[in-house]
Structure 1
Amino acid sequence: MSDTGEEWQMARRRKGAARKPKTLLGSTASTCCQEQLDVGKTVKRIRDTASELRCEEFWQDWKGQLQAAGSSSPSKPPENKDTEDPTEQPDKGREDRLCQQLECVCYGLGSFSSCAAARYQLAMLLLLLDAGQIPLEDCSVFDPVFSTGEREVLRNLGLTVLTENEEGKRLATKPTLFYLMHCGKALYNNLLWKNWSTQCLPLMTIVGNGFNGMRERTIGREFERDYSYISLAVDVCEERRLLCPSRLIDVFSDTAVITFPTSSLYRLPQSTWAEPQEPQYQHCPDLEIILREKQS
């Protein structure tokens, strides 16, 4: 590993700074990045980092866990399951086609041009897209802290850069991998709220912080009050913990692949699914999410 201990400490502070709560999109957070970015050099650095990670033993565990999660996810919304040809037999070609149906959404990556941790997380995203056979252009990325140069780097890598701050409120209409490394709880909670049904949740695969860890680090009554959708989901989701080498603890710690088996969801009371209320976070002074600008 070429990064020194000092660089990792600086990277950790930068990553943390990017997660401080903001009230408006387009705040001063974006000024921490270099606008005059050498796009070609940065693209090469990220690809070199991906090649480095590909040689790591823990990558094979990540790849296997993602594929295991994908094999248990539905290829289409549950209500359409009966329309499949019953004579069609599972084969390798069909598995490949199911993989190709995936799309990906990445939120909260951070300033990868100046933060080593964010750069490694971006490199890992590229590996996961390759493992899941997800075309680069089918991966949408967004973080309000991205500089103009960083957005150009992402486009050069082949990714799709979103222009709107969705605050995590993205509806999954097809099997979707959500890559949410070290994002705030509110973003996860927003995502769950937007997809809070027995039809949409099974379409989601999340690679990010484990829900069990969130619960353990939060006071119980506050967790249930402020992050009610995570609180409900934690007992019915399937969480596969991912290996993390000690030297990359600030980059990939407490990471899991999270899926939502349909059979588990039906353990929740029917009233759970009736008219889910949009989260408001009135009691959360440290929200850990940059909100979009309100239109006047």
Structure 2
Amino acid sequence: MAAAAAPEAWQAASPRRRRSAARRPRRREAAAAAARAPGAEPEVDGGVVLRRIEEAREDLLISDFWSSALETINRCLRKHLEQLKAPSEPLSEALGDLHLDSPPDESDVAPGSVPKETPVTGTCHLKCVCYGIGNFATCVIARNQLAFLLLFLEKHQIPRSHCWVYDPLFSQLEIAVLNTLGVVVLGENEEGKRSVHSEPTVFYMLHCGTALYNNLLWRNWSVDALSKMVIIGNSFRGLEERLLTRILQENYPYVAQILKGQEELAFPQTSQYTDVFNDTSVHWFPVQKLTQLSTDIWAFREEPDYQDCEDLEIIRNKTGDPSATDLSSL
């Protein structure tokens, strides 16, 4: 379902360093600052963008950061899969299906080209949803984040057709490039309210607004759904540290309540990619922890409205009922 992004879609957060709650800029101010950033480049044609994505991919692949970050993700995925595997399915078989071993030979990729997805040789259990990647045609930070996503898909042999991508900032050129890469560009404002539909799903959400994480948790607010979800995005513990407890509980109650039901591993620190992957963690939700949460927590299912939120980092869907968003594509 490739289509142009709706203009009234939620607003992706610009990359940011850790900061105190008192210094958190408003979303529009941050977006304007990002547009003036030294790393911003004039938009060019699709061929140039594809070449730059491949260059970013090659740089990531040979970096120490990539191998360390991949191991961080895989440590969570192994635990995640262990709790999901069927009793009759050995864990080694499940892990083999996700190809957590060595990547394919990179020498087969022609210089200057964007590699095609690796053929799936086993049953692929994971799907992927990416929110808020930004203007990768003109922003180095966004381009590195996209390159990381493509490497992640290749490494785990997730077909690109099983990866859904959305950002309201995408230009028509960027949508065309994403279509060429083979991922699915969403044209509907979901506000992050996408159900996993009982299928293991990785959500790749770097530097997104807290409301987006809150909406995603609300849509999947059950032990069964959350246990099938992995989130690569802003550290929930970092959010707890930066936001006043009252603000977190009143404006983002699902984030606040899941803190005791999750585990997270921080991405490695790196000077090369400080502004790209700062404050990023891999989150997963152990069944044992989820079942220990009180029944009152699970009974609370009120849809977030953010009417009293002064620093909302999301633009609402005004075209219709967000709950009516087409979620059947996953």
TM, length-normalised to structure 2: 0.75
Decide which moves more: 285-294 or 175-184: 285-294
- Equivalent in the alignment of 2:80: 73
- Equivalent in the alignment of 2:53: 46
Identity percentage of aligned residues: 40
TM, length-normalised to structure 1: 0.83
User: What is the correspondence of 1:88-237 to structure 2 with a 5 Å cutoff?
Assistant: 88-91=89-92, 93-97=93-97, 100-173=124-197, 174-237=199-262
Could you tell me whether the CA contact under 8 Å between 2:80 and 2:286 is conserved in 1?
A: yes
Cα drift, residue 294 of structure 1: 2.9
Secondary structure of 1:73 counterpart: helix
Could you tell me whether the CA contact under 8 Å between 1:34 and 1:149 is conserved in 2?
A: no
Measured against aligned partners, the alpha-carbon deviations of 1:140-199 in whole angstroms (never above 9, x if no partner) come to 000111011100011111111111010000001200010000000000000000011000
- Equivalent in the alignment of 1:57: 64
Question: Which amino acid in the other structure matches residue 45 of structure 1?
Answer: R
- Equivalent in the alignment of 1:4: none
Instruction: Detail structure 1 runs of 4+ shifted over 6 Å in the superposition.
Output: 31-36
Could you tell me whether the CA contact under 8 Å between 1:14 and 1:115 is conserved in 2?
A: no
Question: Which amino acid in the other structure matches residue 97 of structure 1?
Answer: D
Could you tell me whether the CA contact under 8 Å between 2:98 and 2:156 is conserved in 1?
A: no
Cα drift, residue 282 of structure 1: 1.6
How much is the aligned-residue C-alpha RMSD, in angstroms?
Answer: 2.7
Cα drift, residue 38 of structure 1: 0.7
- Equivalent in the alignment of 1:287: 312
Measured against aligned partners, the alpha-carbon deviations of 1:98-148 in whole angstroms (never above 9, x if no partner) come to 561100000011111111111111111111112222111111000111011
Could you tell me whether the CA contact under 8 Å between 2:223 and 2:290 is conserved in 1?
A: yes
Measured against aligned partners, the alpha-carbon deviations of 1:250-294 in whole angstroms (never above 9, x if no partner) come to 111011100000000112101211251111112212211122233
Number of residues of Structure 1 aligned to a counterpart in Structure 2: 268
Question: Which amino acid in the other structure matches residue 236 of structure 2?
Answer: F
Could you tell me whether the CA contact under 8 Å between 1:189 and 1:230 is conserved in 2?
A: yes
Could you tell me whether the CA contact under 8 Å between 2:136 and 2:174 is conserved in 1?
A: yes
Could you tell me whether the CA contact under 8 Å between 1:175 and 1:203 is conserved in 2?
A: yes
Question: Which amino acid in the other structure matches residue 137 of structure 1?
Answer: S
Please give the alpha-carbon distance, in whole angstroms, between the structure 1 residues aligned to 2:180 and 2:172: 13
Secondary structure of 2:80 counterpart: coil
- Structure 2: gaps spanning 5 or more residues: 1-12, 17-25, 100-123, 322-330
- Equivalent in the alignment of 1:3: none
Could you tell me whether the CA contact under 8 Å between 1:196 and 1:273 is conserved in 2?
A: yes
Match for residue 246 of structure 1 among 271, 276, 282 = 271
Decide which moves more: 94-103 or 284-293: 94-103
Measured against aligned partners, the alpha-carbon deviations of 1:27-69 in whole angstroms (never above 9, x if no partner) come to x9xx999997411110111011011001110111111121121
